[in-house]
Structure 1
Amino acid sequence: MDENIVNMLKHIGRVCRPLLAIALALILALAPLGAVWARSGGRIGGGSFRSPTFSAPRSIGPHYSAPVYPSYGGGFGFPLLVPFFWGGGGGLLTLLLLIGAGSFLVQTLRSAASSEEGDDSIGVRDPQVTVAQVKVGLLASARQLQKDMNALALEADTQSPEGLSQLLQEVTLGLMRYSDYWAYGHAQADRLPLSRAESLFYQASLQERSKFSIESLSNRNNQIQQVSQAALQRSAAGIPDIGEYLVVTLLVAYRGNLGTLPVVNSMADLRQCLLQLASIPADRIVAIEVLWTPQLEGDTLSAEALLTEYPEMRLL
C-alpha cells in the first residue's frame, strides 16, 4: 500500500513539473521590470595606468677631457696660459695643480648629476597617485539626472585626457545641480604608489559593478556597449515607478595630491568633495570611472538595497 502511494506521488510530480516550469516562465514574463532587472547599472570610464606620462628624460652630462698642448722651450704652450712661460718648472707645478683641481670639480659635478638622476628614476618608476572615491545617493525624483547620465555615456570622449576632464566636470556639475535631491554621501582618498593605486582603482570599480544585476550601458575608452532597452521599456509601460533612490559613484585616479577630501557629514562636505574633483587638471588625470544605478528608466533601487549595498554612505 505504501509503495503504491509513493509511485502515485512520483507520477504526479512528473506530470506537474512541466506545468511548474511554464508557470515560472509566465511569472518572469509578467513581472514588473524592477523585479526582473533590479539594479541595472551604467558605466563611463577611460584612462590607463600604463600611459607614458610618468617618464622623464634623463640628462647625460658632457664628457670633459683635459686639453694637451705642445711645449715650447722651458714652458708650456701659449694656448694654455701666458704665465706658464715664466718660471720654467714653476709653470709645470702650477699646471699640475690646476689640472688636479679641474678633475676634482668635474668628478663632483658628475656625482651630483648621477645622484639627481637616481632620485628622479625612483620617482619615475613608481610615482605617487591618489585614488578618490565619491558616492552620492539621490532621491528617485532626480530622474532627469539619470537621463543626463545616459546621454553622456553615449557622447563622452573617454580616450583623451581632455575628454576625461570634461566628463569629470559634466558629472560633478550635474550632481551639484541636483543637490536638492541629495540624501546620502561618502568620500575617501588614498595616496599610493602607482602599482598599488592601480590595484585599488580596479578593485573599487569591480566592487561597484558587482552590485549591478546587469550592466545595461557602458562606454569604456570610447567602446560603447548597450543592452536593447526598447523591449524592456515596452514591458515597463504602465508600471508605476516604485524606485526610491539613485546612486552615482565617481572613481578618479590622478597624479599628486590636491588636498584631503573632507569626511562627508553634510551637504556642504559633499559639495566640497565634488568641487575638489572638478578642479583636477586634465594633465594629472590617470583614469576615471563613473558608475550609476539604476540605469534603465523604470528600474528600482529600494532603501533597503541602498543601505545593504552601500553601508559606507551617511545620511545627509
Structure 2
Amino acid sequence: MFAPLQMAGAAPSSGRAGGLFKSASHRTSVSTPYRSSGTWNYSRQPHSALLGSPRFIVHGATGWHYGSAGAVAARRTLTITEMTVLVTVIAILIQGVINNNKRDMMAGPLGAGTTVVTLTVAMNVSDRRDPNSIMKRLRKLSLAADTSNRKGVQDLISEVSLELLRQEKSIVSASAKAKHFHNPEFAERQFRSQSVRSRSKFDREVVNKFGDQLLTDETLVSTLSENDSDPTMAVVSINMSIEGKSLASTEVRSREDLIRALSQIAADSQVGTCLLSGEVLWSPEVPGDRITNEDLYADFPNLIPL
C-alpha cells in the first residue's frame, strides 16, 4: 500500500499555483442611524392593574424621577459626571447593536467573516509516468489555469478538489484545519503565514505560478529515466481564504470527512466572488525525486491514516 521505505535520491521538489485577491466591493453598506440630542426616555408597561407605570426620565442634565402613577418617589439633580457616564453606556450599547446588524447585512452568500482552510493529502502513486498520475494532472491543471484573476483561481481550486475526489482511493492519509475570522485582514495574514509554512517543507520550488507571475526552474527538470516509474508518495495541499462560515468546521477524521470536505471546497470555491485567496501545492515535481514514508510523516506529522 505504501511506497518502500528508503531514502530518496534527492530532496523533494514541489510545485505551486494560485493567487490572492481583495474582497469584492458589492457588499451592502449600512449607514449609522442619526441620533438627535433630545430627551432619552425609558418606560415600561405595568405588570398588572394594581401597579402604576414605572418611569425613568432624563431631561438633559436637570434630573430624574422614578415613581408609580401619580406619585414621585425620588428626585434629585444629576451631576455632569453621572450624565456623561449614562450617555456613554447607552451609546456603547446602541453602537454594539448597530455593528452586529452591519455585520449581518454585509454577510456574503456563505455567511459573515472569512475562513482560512488548509487541507493536505498523501497519495500512493504506483507509476508517475502515467498521464493520469496526480503529479502530471496537477502540473497540467496549474499551467493551464489563469491565476491572474479570481475566476481562474476558483476554477483551479475546484478542479484540483475534483481530481482528488476522482483519485480518492489512492489517498492514504489526510489532515485539515480551518479558522474563522471576523476581520478579513487577519484572515489574509493567516493565509500568508500558512502558505509560507507549507512551502518551507520542500527544498526546491520548481514551478511557482502565483497571480500574474510564472517562475520555473527548468534546470531541475530532467529527462524521464527508468527510475521515474518507481512508486512514490505524493503530497497535495490546498490553502484557501474564503468569505463566510461554510468551511469553518472543516476537519478530516475519516474517509467520509475527506470526501465531504473536498466536495464542499469544490463547490464553495465557485460561489460568486467569495474566494479571496487560494493555492495548490504538490510534491514531488521533478522526475526522479521521491517522497518516502519517512519523509512523509517527518514533514507532515498531523496526517491521519484513512
TM bucket by the smaller chain? 0.5 to 0.7
Shift of 1:238: 3.3
Amino acid at match of 2:244: G
Of 148, 151, 155, the match for 2:137: 148
Match of 2:303 in 1: 313
The 5 A counterparts of 1:172-191 are 172-191=161-180
Of 266, 276, 297, the match for 2:254: 266
Task: Work out whether 1:204 is the aligned partner of 2:217.
Answer: no
The 1:122–1:219 alpha-carbon spacing in structure 2 relative to 1, beyond 3 Å, is: same
- 1:101-123 superposed Cα distances (whole Å, 9 cap, x missing partner): xxxxxxxxxx9x99987656778
Q: Which structure has the highest helix share of the two?
A: 1
Q: Work out the number of aligned pairs and report it.
A: 231
- 1:196-221 superposed Cα distances (whole Å, 9 cap, x missing partner): 21121111110110011100001101
Larger radius of gyration: 1
Amino acid at match of 1:250: I
After TM superposition, the score normalised by the length of structure 1 is 0.64
Amino acid at match of 1:314: I
The 5 A counterparts of 1:85-124 are none
Amino acid at match of 2:158: Q
- Whole-angstrom CA distance in 2 between matches of 1:240 and 1:219: 24
Amino acid at match of 2:113: Q
CA RMSD of aligned residues (A): 3.1
- Whole-angstrom CA distance in 1 between matches of 2:245 and 2:186: 16
Amino acid at match of 1:202: R
Tell me the SS of whatever aligns to 1:297. coil
CA contact (8 A) 1:243 1:298 kept: no
The 5 A counterparts of 1:18-97 are 35-36=9-10, 38-48=11-21, 50-53=22-25, 56-57=28-29
- Whole-angstrom CA distance in 2 between matches of 1:162 and 1:207: 25
Tell me the SS of whatever aligns to 1:279. helix
Task: Work out whether 1:238 is the aligned partner of 2:212.
Answer: no
- Whole-angstrom CA distance in 2 between matches of 1:153 and 1:252: 15
- Whole-angstrom CA distance in 1 between matches of 2:255 and 2:115: 23
Amino acid at match of 2:214: I
After TM superposition, the score normalised by the length of structure 2 is 0.66
Shift of 1:265: 2.5
- Whole-angstrom CA distance in 2 between matches of 1:260 and 1:116: 24
- Whole-angstrom CA distance in 2 between matches of 1:245 and 1:203: 25
Shift of 1:255: 0.7
Tell me the SS of whatever aligns to 1:307. helix
CA contact (8 A) 1:43 1:292 kept: yes
Q: Can you give the 5+ residue segments of structure 2 that lack an aligned partner in the other structure?
A: 1-7, 35-90, 107-111
Match of 1:253 in 2: 241
Amino acid at match of 1:269: D
Tell me the SS of whatever aligns to 2:290. coil
Amino acid at match of 1:284: C
Shift of 1:290: 0.6
Match of 1:162 in 2: 151
Shift of 1:228: 0.8
- Whole-angstrom CA distance in 2 between matches of 1:222 and 1:55: 26
CA contact (8 A) 1:153 1:218 kept: no
The 1:153–1:56 alpha-carbon spacing in structure 2 relative to 1, beyond 3 Å, is: same
Tell me the SS of whatever aligns to 2:256. helix
- Whole-angstrom CA distance in 1 between matches of 2:148 and 2:282: 20
- Whole-angstrom CA distance in 2 between matches of 1:178 and 1:307: 21
Tell me the SS of whatever aligns to 1:164. helix
- 1:55-76 superposed Cα distances (whole Å, 9 cap, x missing partner): 65455889xxxxxxxxxxxxxx
Amino acid at match of 2:166: R
Q: Can you give the 5+ residue segments of structure 1 that lack an aligned partner in the other structure?
A: 1-33, 63-110
- Whole-angstrom CA distance in 1 between matches of 2:127 and 2:279: 21
Amino acid at match of 1:46: G
Amino acid at match of 1:210: S
Shift of 1:224: 1.1
Amino acid at match of 1:41: S
Shift of 1:275: 0.7
Shift of 1:159: 2.6
